[in-house]
């Protein structure tokens, strides 16, 4: 009997996506997990939390050209 393959988290780093948050010019780095429930993270830039689709891996300052393509995070 073959073991059933588990979700790929052990096989390598999950793909990451950048999402824009409240602070202009900054993006949050979120791991893209196919059937993730959604995660809330406490924002370092404001007193509320934002909802994203997976675990937060960090933040990145964006240049303007990259910035405009990003999706918004739900609040």
Residues making contact with Zn ion (CB under 5 A):
22, 43, 45-46
Give the nearer residue to Zn ion in terms of CB position, either 43 or 52.
43
**What is the token pair recorded at 4?**
């059933």
Per the document, the length of the chain is 75
The secondary structure of residue 44, as a DSSP letter, is S
**Residues forming a β-bridge with 30:** 17, 56
Question: Minimum distance between the CB of residue 44 and Zn ion, rounded to whole angstroms?
Answer: 8
Return the residue nearest Zn ion (CB atom): 43
Give the nearer residue to Zn ion in terms of CB position, either 27 or 43.
43
Give the nearer residue to Zn ion in terms of CB position, either 7 or 46.
46
Runs of H (alpha helix) within the chain: 64-67
């Amino acid at each position: 009997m073959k073991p059933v393959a588990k979700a790929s988290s052990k096989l390598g780093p999950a793909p990451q996506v950048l999402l824009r948050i409240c602070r202009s010019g900054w993006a949050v780095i979120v791991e893209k997990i196919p059937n993730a429930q959604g995660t809330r993270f406490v924002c370092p830039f404001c007193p509320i939390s934002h909802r994203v689709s997976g675990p937060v891996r960090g933040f990145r300052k964006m240049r303007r050209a990259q910035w405009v393509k990003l999706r918004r995070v739900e609040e």
